[in-house]
């Protein structure tokens, strides 16, 4: 029986992850733009969207990758694909062949905030004279479920670093079969290099300078009426951790904010600040309704400000999973 450790994370702006802001030249406000993103009825697609061009830059099926490896020169965080409700547990054991089960392990999931200091895999290395050295612990990874809600299975993994510049992983099924080793070089054109236990390095995330919003399923904490936390898969919007920032605008209607007012708002780089709760599910109607009064201000990766709201979640044939939104560049 898996154990899930529930934890709360501090919500704060990750300004240390930002490069120096680019000065935006004076510009004319934009026209009202309406866009629809296709996640599909089962939310099987992750879609990367660029506000400036109103374009879906790329999409992928959620089951195409398992782990994301941080690419910053000094960053060595490893992330789970939260769209599959993946879990990870540290066995605290360095004997690869002796770990054969997840029994008794605290199996965690990554927080939807994107907080690098609260990942399920956590601190898998020690810092020695500015060089990371693997602790050698064996992790058990629950790969979650695929786009058809089928369980994908478990792997055991040891993370390491090759020549102080590339990730190296050793992984196998829990019974020791299908053992492999892979090298994952860093690629600073993306936030994370994505890796599949089935297919190795996979091309998932587009260039980090080309998109602002990711439409996807993701794991988060919800709460029962009694206040008890429980993990759940939701469908919503996450921010590009490279420079994008946003906030819920509770002061202005749509459209109804000036650039000067937007610049005075307190924005956050928390990935799930837009999130999923711009829509609500009616158990009687068995349909989602969108709250058009929920308004967001977003600063994109180029430094432009936008006001945005959602206006729909169904396509013309009544299928859910097609979020429609309208926005204005300020």
CA–CA dist 69, 76 (Å, integer): 7
Beta bridge partners of 70: 192
Listed residue (36, 23, 8, 33) closest to 290, CA to CA? 36
* Long-range Cβ contact pairs of 195-200 (< 8 A, separation 24 or more): 195/65, 195/66, 195/67, 195/68, 195/69, 195/169, 196/64, 196/65, 196/66, 197/66, 197/143, 197/155, 197/171, 199/64
112-136, pLDDT tens digit by residue?
999 998 999 999 999 887 788 999 9
Q: Cα-Cα-Cα-Cα dihedral of 167, 172, 178, 179, to 10°?
A: 50
Are 81 and 69 in contact by the 8 Å Cβ rule? The answer is: no
- Mean residue pLDDT across the chain: 91
Are 18 and 269 in contact by the 8 Å Cβ rule? The answer is: yes
Are 96 and 159 in contact by the 8 Å Cβ rule? The answer is: no
Sheet hosting strand 200-202, strand order edge to edge: 78-80, 67-70, 192-196, 200-202
* pLDDT at residue 8, rounded to an integer: 35
CA–CA dist 170, 310 (Å, integer): 43
pTM of the model: 0.90
Listed residue (209, 217, 197, 122) closest to 153, CA to CA? 197
CA–CA dist 39, 58 (Å, integer): 12
DSSP state of 156: E
What HEC string does 66-119 produce?
CEEEECCCCCCCEEECHHHCCEEEECCCCCHHHCCCCCCCEEECCCCCCCHHHC
All structural domains of the chain with their residue ranges: 3-61+208-329, 64-200
224 or 327: which leads in pLDDT:
327
Beta bridge partners of 36: 324
- Split at pLDDT 50, 70, 90, the class of 214 is very high
Q: CB within 8 A of 213, min separation 6: which ones?
A: 48, 49, 51, 237, 238, 239, 240, 244, 274, 298
275-315, pLDDT tens digit by residue?
999 999 999 999 999 999 999 999 999 999 999 999 999 99
Alpha helices in the chain (DSSP H): 259-263
- Split at pLDDT 50, 70, 90, the class of 110 is very high
Torsional sign, CA 174, 177, 183, 188 = negative
* pLDDT at residue 6, rounded to an integer: 37
- Look at residue 216 and tell me whether its pLDDT is greater than 70: yes
């Amino acid at each position: 029986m898996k154990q899930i450790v529930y934890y709360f994370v501090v919500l704060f702006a990750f300004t240390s992850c930002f490069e120096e802001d680019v000065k935006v030249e004076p510009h004319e406000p934009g026209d009202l733009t309406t866009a629809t993103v296709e996640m599909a009825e089962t939310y099987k697609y992750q879609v990367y969207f660029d506000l400036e061009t109103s374009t879906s830059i790329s999409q992928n099926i959620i089951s195409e990758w398992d782990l994301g490896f941080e690419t910053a020169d000094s960053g060595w965080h490893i992330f789970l694909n939260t769209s599959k409700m993946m879990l990870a547990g540290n066995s605290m054991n360095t004997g690869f062949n002796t770990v054969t089960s997840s029994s008794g392990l605290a199996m965690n999931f990554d927080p939807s905030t994107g907080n690098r200091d609260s990942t399920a895999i956590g601190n898998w290395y020690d810092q020695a004279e500015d060089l990371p050295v693997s602790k050698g612990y064996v992790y058990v990874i629950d790969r979650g479920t695929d786009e058809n809600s089928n369980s994908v299975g478990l792997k055991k993994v040891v993370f390491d670093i090759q020549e102080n510049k590339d990730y190296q992983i050793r992984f196998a099924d829990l019974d020791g079969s299908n053992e492999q080793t892979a090298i994952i070089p860093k690629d600073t054109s993306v936030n994370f290099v994505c890796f599949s236990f089935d297919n190795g390095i996979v091309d998932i995330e587009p260039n980090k300078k080309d998109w602002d919003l990711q439409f996807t399923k993701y794991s988060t904490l919800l709460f029962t009426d009694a206040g008890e936390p429980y993990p759940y898969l939701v469908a919503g919007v996450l921010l590009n951790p490279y420079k994008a920032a946003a906030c819920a605008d509770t002061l202005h209607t749509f459209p109804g904010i000036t650039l000067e007012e937007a610049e005075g708002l307190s924005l956050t780089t928390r990935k799930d600040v837009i999130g999923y709760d711009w829509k609500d599910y009616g158990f009687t109607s068995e349909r989602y309704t969108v709250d058009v009064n929920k308004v967001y201000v977003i600063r994109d990766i180029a430094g432009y400000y936008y006001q945005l709201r959602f206006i729909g979640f169904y396509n013309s044939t009544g299928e859910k999973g097609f979020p429609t939104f309208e926005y204005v560049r300020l």
